[in-house]
């Protein structure tokens, strides 16, 4: 699972002053249960009204489903890179490399 890779490399991200956040349409209670189940050291945010997902362009259908996308946000708040297709085992390393290039 993609989230586990970020969990396992959290110190590397912390060393680069990078904040990891997960975002889903799930309720706060569901996100808390998921976070606890997988021992994620980062927050999972609820986007119940889909405002953030819509702003980032990841709501993909008329039914309001979201695609699984990672977004690297630069210190100035701009989108440095969007990852639409990833290999979960390699994704944390890819993001760390891109962080080094910022």
Tens-digit pLDDT profile for the chain (102 aa)? 789 999 999 999 999 999 999 999 999 999 999 999 999 999 999 999 999 888 888 887 666 777 788 999 998 988 999 998 888 899 999 999 999 998
pTM of the model: 0.84
Question: What pLDDT, on the 0 to 100 scale, is given for residue 20?
Answer: 94
Question: What pLDDT, on the 0 to 100 scale, is given for residue 54?
Answer: 87
User: What is 2-101's CATH topology?
Assistant: Glutaredoxin (3.40.30)
Q: Do the beta carbons of residue 1 and residue 38 sit within 8 Å?
A: yes
């Amino acid at each position: 699972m993609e989230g586990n890779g970020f969990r396992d490399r959290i110190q590397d991200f912390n060393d680069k002053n990078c904040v990891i956040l997960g975002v889903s349409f799930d309720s706060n209670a569901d996100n808390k249960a998921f976070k606890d189940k997988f021992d994620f050291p980062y927050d999972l945010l609820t986007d119940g009204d889909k405002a953030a997902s819509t702003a980032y362009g990841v709501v993909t259908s008329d039914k309001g489903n979201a695609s699984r996308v990672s977004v690297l946000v630069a210190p100035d708040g701009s989108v440095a890179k969007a990852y639409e297709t990833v290999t979960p085992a390699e994704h944390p390393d890819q993001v760390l490399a891109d962080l080094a290039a910022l």
